Amino acid sequence: MSRLGPALRALIQRVDFARIYIDSRMHGEINQGILALIGIEKPDNVEQADALVQKILSYRIFSDADGKMNLSLKNIGGGLMLVSQFTLAADTNKGLRPSFSSAMPPDEAAQLFQYTVDAATKDYPQVVSGVFAADMKIELLNNGPVTFLLEN
């Protein structure tokens, strides 16, 4: 995927519930809300993280009384689950194997992911997150299905 400048990525899904399991134990869960898979690349920074968090919290993907997508996560008071997703940084344009050369190095990416979680938690009370670089299992019920790729 070709982009102009840095753009932190989030694949967001409207869910009825989502649960994270690590080592066969439930690590966190939300009911109705957004599961956001976060992909971090080399040029990404805290300014993009701040903007992405605000976009996720305010993105209108929930139905109003007329069935139109006019309500945000903040409007419905739903849960937000943030999960680091290394594979969103993949370049899939050539061949049959993804390249991860554009991914931010793990130590830096862990810091930026934690910053993103902290920024979300500061602005919104119902946030849970996965563990960076952990082998996680995620159970979810995608509502719709409604899924969007946000870049900021």
Indicate which residue of 62, 85, 113, 132 is catalytic: 85
CA distance 82 to 131: 9
Residue 85 falls in the annotated catalytic set: yes
Q: What is the pLDDT of residues 51-84, one digit of tens each?
A: 999 999 999 999 999 999 999 999 999 999 999 9
Q: Where are the domains of the chain?
A: 9-140
Annotated active-site residue 87? The verdict is yes
Averaged pLDDT score across all residues of the chain = 94
- Measured between alpha carbons, how far is 97 from 125 in angstroms, rounded to an integer? 39
Q: What is the pLDDT of residue 1?
A: 40
Q: How far apart are CA 74 and CA 51, in angstroms?
A: 15
The pLDDT value recorded for residue 3 is: 47
* Reported pTM: 0.94
Q: Can you name the CATH fold of 9-140?
A: D-tyrosyl-trna(Tyr) Deacylase; Chain: A; (3.50.80)
Catalytic residue selected from 32, 54, 86, 148: 86
Chain segment 2-42, per-residue pLDDT in tens: 444 557 899 999 999 999 999 999 999 999 999 999 999 99
Identify the CA nearest to 53 among candidates 30, 31, 20, 82: 82
